[in-house]
Chains A and B, each alone.
Chain A
Amino acid sequence: MTQASSRRDLLKGAVLGAVAIAPGLTLIAPAAQARPAGSAASAANRWGLLIDTSKCDAGCTACVDACKTEMGLPALDRPATDAQYIRKVDVKDPKTGHQHSLPVMCQHCAKPPCVDVCPTGASMKRADGIVLVDRHICIGCRYCMMACPYKARSFAHEDQSNQKAHNPRGKGCVEGCTLCVHRIDAGGRPACVEACADTGRAAMIFGDLNDANSEISRRLSKQASSRIRADLGLDPAIRYQGI
């Protein structure tokens, strides 16, 4: 297949991807393209999420469940130590009684304290802003878990089996949300975002914060949004509405 025709097919796919799933509700496939083989992640992109908590309710755990399946995280029924890349946090304003529920995962900070404290260089930020643990050199000291103000990282306490090919994980290493880097590199969007869209709520959108024409950037330029603990100045790539 030539370069031109594969690009045309991709564009065609993107148009077909805009499917009306219910009257008045349109699901738009992400315009993102797979990065060509052999090319590195680039600082021209900064991947992020916009989460509208008004569309998210306390009973729904679609994103959490999808993450566990996608990343091959076993449910050992030991909540204190089970690996968790994303969790639902229910909050209530004690003055007004207003409640809401928000998914919280690694916020992919532009100035990540987990990277600052890591003694080995395992905790790292990729050029496109995705914060990862290089488990090849992680010594399991857990400094990063202590440093992360969002409680975003987990530690694998036990020997693991049946790992997913795209998410190698093992005992003695720290791990966290990768923003589904394996999907992003292939031109897709994170599993949680997809699962949320499948419920019809579509509370999360994924995109490139550096691309002024992306859906996420267009919405952020027009609508108010906030970041959790913005006062810390870590410049997270996860934005919220409704909190």
Chain B
Amino acid sequence: MGMRVVMLALLLVLMPWQGARAAEAGPQFPKAQGQCVEDAGTMRRHHFDFLKHQRDDTMREGIRGAKHSLKDCVSCHAAHKDGKAVPVNAPGQFCAACHDYAAVSVGCFTCHATTPGEGKP
């Protein structure tokens, strides 16, 4: 019984501190340049479905110009340093920050460009 009280007291003492730490932690990444095509919550939950759906439409049917484009993600989310774009899959950058945090390994960037294309994104 005595042990339990000590544990509870410890927990109560530690909790606020833990809470503050959790708010601070989490992925940090550079801000996007424009307005996203969906609200952030929808994007967080469904971006992979959107991208996969559009990839098949574009690749196999030739449908261009739809709004869930990986090229557009990259062009809006790539940070710039010394006048040059930073790859979105570099540590701490937009794509890498969250995927590293969530231990998700994505295959997009073994093939896809990680910086905006010249002139036309």
Contacts and interface: CB of A to CB of B under 8 A. Distances in A.
Contacts of A169: 111
Given A40-B61, A165-B71, 12 more contacts: A38-B63, A38-B64, A38-B66, A40-B62, A41-B61, A126-B62, A127-B61, A134-B59, A136-B59, A163-B111, A164-B113, A164-B117
Interface residues of B, number: 20
Interface in B6-60: 55-57, 59-60
A35 B111 contact: no
A157 to B, nearest CB: 13
Interface of A is mostly: loop
A189 B105 CA distance: 37
A165 B117 contact: yes
Interface in A133-174: 134-136, 159-160, 162-166, 168-171, 173
B2 to A, nearest CB: 60
A237 B121 CA distance: 30
A132 interface: yes
Contacts of B55: 136
A185 B62 contact: yes
Nearest to B52: A136
A142 B49 CA distance: 29
A22 interface: no
Interface of B: 55-57, 59-66, 71, 74, 110-113, 116-117, 121
Given A165-B74, A165-B121, A35 B64 contact: yes
A38 B116 CA distance: 22
B65 A163 contact: no
B117 A41 contact: no
Given A165-B71, A185-B64, A132 B59 contact: yes
B47 to A, nearest CB: 16
Contacts of B112: 163, 165, 168
A39 interface: yes
